Chains A and B, each alone.
Chain A
Amino acid sequence: MAERLSRPAAGVLAALVAVPLLALVVRAFADEWRAPALVPQQFGLRGVEVAFSGSSGEAFGNSLVVALAAAALALLLAWPAARVLGERRLRHPAPVFLLLAMPLLVPSYAVGTGLTEWFIRLDLDGTLPALVAGHLTFVLPYVILVLLSGFGPRLTALEEVAQVNGLSPLRRMLWVTLPAAAPTVGAAALIGFLVSWSDYGTSLAVGGGRPMLPVVLLPFVGADPQVAATLALLFLAPAVAVLALAVRAGRMPL
């Protein structure tokens, strides 16, 4: 017999996620928090001031631009490929999936180091297009793998009905295909954005000193926990946005 939702279990799980993150907020605004006190001795904005006095603002902008560009480019490239793979039209799909899996198995720092060799020759090292290209190596396979789950016989049948009813290819795309595939497209875009946003290895190798948020955050984790917590909250913002969108999408009728 199927069990009903267990509220205590949900409460414990929510606490397991929320409490550690709440501590991050307190840590970010605790100017003085000496052990063994459980409550900070003094609250303040030192963390925010130090975090934004350096290159963090620029790093946030760079990470945002690169992640948005990589996710958008990946969606454009992935759409036709995901249709073919999702509708199982290939007789021998294994080599294609092997190529998609390869970048996910190789350290991102290795890919970044290898690409930097070429970017230096092309005078692109450390530029935003180079970072987008580097991130695309990992973002594109994830986006294709998520997107292909949105295509299949159900969508094909809907499109055939629309075609029989005389809808032009453009109207079929706008009125049938896009609305039906929208949740999967949204999920693929968010996964693509987050893969790029979280990437450390490629950003470090290809960035050539250009600040990216994870690269700026890491040295503070050991050196200054308050600044690290402030930057971590900044780093968390898109994940919270993802969660809010996912909850909203979950409430929408299909």
Chain B
Amino acid sequence: MTGARWRSGARDAALLTPALAVLALLFGGAIVGVTRVSLIPLGQNASLDAWRDLFGDPLFGDAVVFTLRTALISTTLAALVALGLALAAQRRGTLVRSLLALPVPVPHLLVATVAVVWLAPGGLADRILGGLPVTLVRDSGGLGIVLVYVYKEAPFLLLLVLAALGRGHQESDEAAAALGVTPLQRLRWVTWPTVRSPLVVGSIVVFAFALGAFEVPLAVGPSYPPTIAEYARQATQGDLISGQSTAAATLLLSAAGSIALAALAVRAARDPQGG
């Protein structure tokens, strides 16, 4: 019995190995590579100069604040919109659900292009309404970035939440209603525990993407302040040698921040008092 279990375990390990080995090699190699670049500038000796430059640059501080703010607002709004739409759509037909999910396969850069055509100064919305009350594209507050992320990410989170709100949830909800539990109490004690985990996991992925991607900020964001990823890209376009190291240090810090925040969020989601 023990031998059979051992053989089964060994077979499972063998089946997992190809994918995990490739992933560990590529991801591990990338992290080692980016760490190396941050510490050893091209053709020079190892030093912490890139890290010192980074922490001494006020522009980097502005980039961190701007990126965290836009990523946090985008993720929170996308999660709220997804939750609201899920509650409204959970008992509707397949057509409504499919339409709500339509933006999921559309690339971020394409949504940003559409946002520029519609919402930029002189864009279609501007022409139709005879002027927009606020600047939405390339504004200093990053409103355009938030709009694109909410339009693109809310449907992704919605899919995760709707998958959790299956038949099991519907039966529990109907049973609670039959017992006279109010809609608000059902939302708190039946629906929220069902959707909390997928919503948190999805939100972590959205937040990490908003923290590290730069195609949307480059297309619809302001020229100042840059996001963290834009700051890294700008560094590579400056000094050929030290710029690469500064960019690598920036990206490494961003990656570490994403992983740390994800760990905290997962811990909070598991904590029964957390929600």
Contact = CB atoms under 8 A, between A and B. Distances in A.
B108 A198 contact: yes
Nearest to A9: B96
A116 B33 contact: yes
Contacts of A84: 12, 15-16
Interface in A79-125: 80-81, 83-85, 89-90, 96, 99-118
Contacts of B109: 198, 200, 214, 217-218, 221, 232, 235
Nearest to B205: A104
A97 to B, nearest CB: 10
Mostly, the B contact residues are helix
Contacts of B219: 218, 221-222
Contacts of B8: 89
Interface stretch (B23-31, B50-58, B181-189, B192-200): B23-31
B18 interface: yes
Nearest to B127: A36
Chain A at the B interface: mostly helix, strand, loop or mixed?
A: helix
Contacts of B110: 232, 235-236, 239
B100 A37 contact: no
Contact of B24 (A21, A77, A99, A116): A99
Nearest to A14: B99
Best-surrounded residue of A6, A17, A144, A221 (most CB of chain B within 10 A): A221
Interface in B216-266: 218-219, 229, 232-233, 244, 247-248, 251-252, 254-255, 258-259, 262
Contact of B233 (A3, A4, A35, A109): A109
A247 B97 CA distance: 12
Contacts of A13: 96, 99-100, 102
Nearest to B126: A35
B214 to A, nearest CB: 7
A115 B33 contact: yes
Contacts of B244: 113
Nearest to B220: A221
B106 interface: yes
Interface in A18-54: 20-21, 23-24, 27, 35-38
Interface residues of B, number: 73
A10 B98 CA distance: 9
A110 B96 contact: no
A144 B128 CA distance: 46
A225 interface: yes
A209 B252 CA distance: 23
Contacts of A144: 19
A113 B37 contact: yes
Contacts of A218: 109, 215, 218-219
Contacts of A114: 29-35, 37, 248
Contacts of A85: 16
A38 B127 contact: yes
A114 B251 CA distance: 10
B46 to A, nearest CB: 14
Contacts of B232: 109, 113
Interface of B: 8, 12, 15-16, 18-20, 22-24, 26-27, 29-37, 91-96, 98-100, 102-103, 105-110, 112-114, 116-118, 122, 124, 126-128, 130, 204-205, 208, 211-215, 218-219, 229, 232-233, 244, 247-248, 251-252, 254-255, 258-259, 262
12 contacts: A5-B92, A9-B92, A35-B126, A105-B204, A111-B30, A113-B244, A115-B26, A144-B19, A214-B107, A217-B109, A229-B113, A235-B109
